[in-house]
Structure 1
Amino acid sequence: MSKDQIILDDGVYFVDLNCNYETAKAPGFLQRRCSNGLTTPGGYECVGSFDKAADGTWRADVNAAYDPETDGDCRRVIEGVSRMDAIAALWAARKSDLATHN
């Protein structure tokens, strides 16, 4: 992972941009540092993300316990907002994720 792709970092959590997009338009991921392991060889796990919806607005969500009613395992943090608002909301919700590794 390239350091110039990390846009927020508090030492435990960080947000990095998807390198397959222009930086100014890139969706991104909320990552949480953890110990290296078979499923976390880089020493971090993805615990949330932000991306552009089909209507052109942005949204963000974090990992959550599986909900059989919605058949989902993420919690929408915000939707229908600007990219910067989605990033800010994701960052504000970073400690509410469902981390699976220590």
Structure 2
Amino acid sequence: MGYHLRRSTSGAGGSLDQPIEEWPYLDQEVLQGSRTRKVCMTCHWFRHHAGVNCIPLLTCQLHQGLLAHGEHLTRRCQEWIKDMTRQRGWCPEVA
């Protein structure tokens, strides 16, 4: 159960199917505190998925990692990027 995304492997140039539930949690080396609107929830790479028993999983598609609940509201990484569709009022992750 759950989503399977293509995850490239380093070196061989192949790919590895790995369920989102098995992604590692991102730590403070990747995420830094933010007091602006530049937080994970407003980032182009942020997604949420229904995990086991419909418990939401918060993910970063760029780092292929999980976010602990609440960190998506107060943290971001150096690669934070605004989604151009959000400038027009469309933001399905936040709505």
Higher relative contact order (CA 8 A, sep 6+): 2
TM-score by length of 1: 0.31
Q: Determine which structure has the larger strand proportion and give its number.
A: 1
